[in-house]
Structure 1
Amino acid sequence: MTSLYSSPPSPSARAHASALTGGELAFTAYRPQNGIFAYRGDCLSMEAQPQTNYFVNPDGSPADHTAPVAALVVEAPVFSLYARVSTRLGSLYDAAGLIVETGDPAGGSAGEWGKCVIELSPFLRPTIVSVVTREVSDDANGEELRTPEAHLRVHRNGPILAFHWSVNGAVWKLARLFSLKGMDGPLRAGMIVQAPMGDALTAVFSGICLETGVPIDLRNGE
């Protein structure tokens, strides 16, 4: 198990990075100074400090890339990353889920990115939310959940990316279909937790699985 912690959220675009050990996949913790990570087997627990976010507001506000991320570089042109996400959303815009991004966070470049998360919406309901960021963030709310837990998946097939979600891990629904510039270079996929408005937020990612070389139907998730 790896546990990392440090103090207040760092506003720097350059993401400190530390290798996570103890689990089945070679994840790197980005911005470990802004969170706590504990990784064992196929289960990862992450806590985001207060005032951490991953968003580039279209209103011209400065980009906020302070949320802790655990990700690995995936070179395969076809892959799926799965995880069951469970959390307790306490404040508006608390969120936990999957992220995929280009660029080099540790080098100070976030590149383009997308995330699919369970987020506490303005209606105070856990909601499937997807965000795709190319210069600024394109934010879209999806379906509401009864409880803040779901299976999430990011799938790549060549130049196309898709986010899917499922209540039971068997029947999948499409949340977002998109692409990113820079996918000919390193592509990072992993988990993210944010707590922009309230107290720290903890999420558990279980059943983490990376599958390569198996294409799926991007529209219906089968």
Structure 2
Amino acid sequence: MPAPLAVPGIPFELTPSEGSEWAVTDDRVEVLAPPHSDIFVDPSGESGTAAETLLNAVTLLGAPGEGDFVFAARVGADFRATFDAAVLLLWADERHWAKLCFERSPAGSLMVVSVVTRGVSDDANSFTVDGDEVWLRISRVGRVFALHASTDGDWWHFVRAFALGDDLGEVRLGFEGQSPTGDGCAVRFDRASFARTTLGDLRNGS
């Protein structure tokens, strides 16, 4: 089992996935996502690389404990191939998880993308970003989780709200890097923060 890491701004330790090499500095977390790495459970059930269940992305996750929270970071990546992404990841088990991605689209633009998996994954594009960094945020209010994104770290665009299910046990929270179609992607996270607080309104950008 890899040794846990302390990340500035996060009050609990995060554990790297097997074989991943995360670098933590004063205000920055970095990792190189390996080639053809992803976390995705294709809903089609068909065979072939694009439809396989892939759970081989590099992750850095920890347990936030019970109660509501707000978790955020500014993210960026060395985007080279389609679906290269820096990701905030919420994980319950291999069939129940959600990720909020800053991702390169098939058209070559950079987008905020969300995926929620309850048995199989869905996939939803949110908005394009003019620049190579964006703020991402995952919040919990009771049994509901909310995803938001921001271009300035101040005004937050609502992406989606959802529940993963009941009786899932303790969730884990943290960072992920992926390069599903490419030969690897360097991803980075800075200004990470975690607050034990409750959002007043999941949809209003506060």
TM-score, length-normalised on structure 1?
0.84
- Between the two proteins, the alignment pairs up a number of residues equal to 199
Matches within 5 A, 1:21-170: 21=6, 23=8, 25=10, 26-31=13-18, 33=19, 35-60=20-45, 61-103=51-93, 110-170=94-154
Sort the Cα spacing of 1:100 and 1:22 in 2 relative to 1 into closer, same or farther, 3 A. closer
Distance 1:87 1:79 in 2: 26
Unaligned runs of 5+ in 2: 46-50
The letter of the residue matching 2:30 is S
1:169-201 Cα offsets, whole Å, 9 max, x none, are 011001111110246521111111101111211
State the distance in 1 between where 2:59 and 2:129 align. 23
The runs of 5 or more residues in structure 1 that have no matched partner are 1-15, 104-109
Structural RMSD (CA) = 1.7
User: Secondary structure of 2:21's match?
Assistant: strand
State the shift of 1:24 in Å: 5.3
Deviation of 1:86 (Å): 1.5
In structure 2, relative to structure 1, the CA distance for the partners of 1:180 and 1:17 (3 Å cut) is farther
In 1, Cα distance between the equivalents of 2:168 and 2:121?
21
Give per-residue Cα distances to partners, 1:50-93, cap 9 Å, x unaligned. 11111111121431100011111011321011100021210011
% identity of equivalent residues: 31
- Equivalent AA in structure 1 for residue 76 of structure 2: S
Structure number with higher relative contact order (C-alpha < 8 Å, ≥ 6 residues apart): 2
Q: Is the 8 A contact 2:7 2:29 kept in 1?
A: no
CA distance in 2 between partners of 1:90 and 1:137 (Å): 24
Q: State the Cα deviation string for residues 154-179 of structure 1 (Å, max 9, x = none).
A: 00011000110000001100111111
Tell me how far apart the structure 2 counterparts of residues 91 and 183 of structure 1 sit (CA, whole Å): 38
CA 39–217 in structure 1, closer or farther in 2 if over 3 Å, else same: same
Equivalent in the alignment of 1:217: 201
Moved over 6 A (4+): none
